[in-house]
Amino acid sequence: MRLEKMPSEFQEALPILEKIKAAGFEAYFVGGSVRDALLNRPIHDVDIASSSYPEETKQIFERTVDIGIEHGTVLVLENGGEYEVTTFRTEDVYVDYRRPSSVSFVRSLEEDLKRRDFTVNAFALNENAEIIDKFNGLADLDNRVLRAVGKAEERFNEDALRIMRGLRFAASLDFDIEVDGGIDGQTISQAKEAGANVFVAGSYVFNGDVNERVQTLRDAVNG
């Protein structure tokens, strides 16, 4: 998919992407700004992700500030603007349900997008206004469904605040909240209490009497 018109916020930041690419690296707009562009909502912050490591990013631009370099983020001061450029990364085991114990820089866009919370926040946008969608976020956007990237229980155990963000996104965007994975006759009630209203329970349903288990799920949701 391609945006019919690149929003002005992205156009202003395009020279940053182009300069990084000219140095031999990949660079994309990522995160909520891409989602908001697809929904024709106001864009507040433009985030850039790149295959360049922090020290490599600093070599590309004359003026930079280390604002979160341990997590791969460098603030680039260019053309009168400020732009956060973050290296593609993966994350180790989370501690205290909030922060990863460590991060590792990688060269793969897909590995970086894989660590995002929801599919509608896992888009990337290139300099040609083309949307990169690795996790079917466009379909979820069309269906107005909020779905975790990968297994929901893993994403929420990593960072408990994602549950609150999910509820906020669902309320502000008028989306359903889907939980895909780990759903059974007991956990479906917990998921419902957390705010979910779409449940995928294939393994539970088909590993027993289908009619009986579907009824169990219905009773749990309606009880």
pLDDT one-digit tens code per residue, 153-193: 777 777 777 777 777 777 777 877 777 767 777 777 766 77
What local confidence, expressed as pLDDT, does residue 184 receive?
A: 78
Task: Report the pLDDT averaged over residues 60-83.
Answer: 94
Q: How confident is the prediction for the chain on average, in pLDDT?
A: 86
- Which residues contact residue 46 at a Cβ distance below 8 angstroms, ignoring those fewer than 6 apart? 9, 10, 13, 29, 33, 83
Work out the angle at residue 46's Cα, subtended by the Cα atoms of residues 44 and 47, and round it to the nearest 5 degrees: 135
The confidence score (pLDDT) of residue 54 equals 96
In order of their start, the domains of the chain are 8-135 (3.30.460.10), 144-222 (no CATH)
Residue 69: CB partners within 8 Å, gap ≥ 6?
54
Q: What is the pLDDT of residue 162?
A: 73
For 105, phi then psi, to 5°, come to -80, 140
Is the pLDDT score of 98 beyond 70?
no
**Lowest mean pLDDT, pick from 1-15, 22-36, 107-121, 207-221:** 207-221
**β partners of residue 132:** 124
Residue 149 is classified by DSSP as S
Question: Which segments within 10-129 are labelled E, that is strand?
Answer: 27-30, 47-50, 64-68, 73-78, 81-87, 89-91, 94-95, 99-100, 103-105, 123-125
Stretch 125-132: mean pLDDT, rounded? 97
pLDDT exceeding 90 applies to what percent of the chain?
Answer: 51
Compute the average pLDDT of residues 133-157. 87
How confident is the model over 16-33, as pLDDT tens digits? 999 999 999 999 999 899
d(CA 156, CA 90) in angstroms, rounded, equals: 16
Secondary structure of residue 130 in the 3-state scheme: strand
Q: Are 72 and 54 in contact (CB under 8 A)?
A: yes
Decide: pTM greater than 0.85: no
Average pLDDT estimate for 7-22: 96
Report pLDDT for 39.
92
pLDDT the model gives residue 196: 73
Which residue type, as a one-letter code, is found at position 168?
A: R
Backbone angles phi, psi at 27, to 5 degrees: -155, 140
**Could you tell me the end-to-end alpha-carbon distance of the chain, in angstroms, rounded to an integer?**
42
Neighbours of 211 (CB within 10 A): 9
pLDDT at 182: 72
